[in-house]
Amino acid sequence: MKNHTPLSEINVGQTAIIQNVRASELKVKLMERGLIKGKTLQLLYRAPFGDPIAFDVEGYVLSLRLDEAMLIDVEIKTEDGL
């Protein structure tokens, strides 16, 4: 099994694939925003104090608070694919 990282911990410019959206009151809201297993996203930037953070989610920009991003487990893509 590969290691999963919370989306809140990836670095600017990194690309990741969603592996899981954790159970919470926000799960449905996050999934409605297109954050589902298998979706590819890239961290574009962080606000000056680190919150919120903005992602390119397959062609559109989505901003998330850190507490929302912590609920999403991702696998970071590497130069060789994963």
Domain range enclosing 34: 5-76
Residue 23 lies in a domain: yes
Model pLDDT for residues 34-63, shown as the tens digit of each residue: 999 999 999 999 999 889 999 999 899 999
State the Cα–Cα distance between residues 81 and 78, nearest whole angstrom. Answer: 5
Residue 32 lies in a domain: yes
CATH label of the domain that carries residue 31: 2.30.30.90
- Look up residue 69 and give its DSSP letter: H
Percentage of the chain modeled with pLDDT above 90: 80
Residue 82 lies in a domain: no
AA identity, residue 76 = I
Tokens of 80: 């060789």
Question: What is the number of domains present in the chain?
Answer: 1
Model pLDDT for residues 7-33, shown as the tens digit of each residue: 999 999 999 999 999 999 999 999 999
Structure-token match 């130069």, residue found: 79
Work out the pLDDT band at 80, boundaries 50, 70, 90.
Answer: low
Distances (CA, A) of 42 to 9, 19, 68: 12, 14, 16
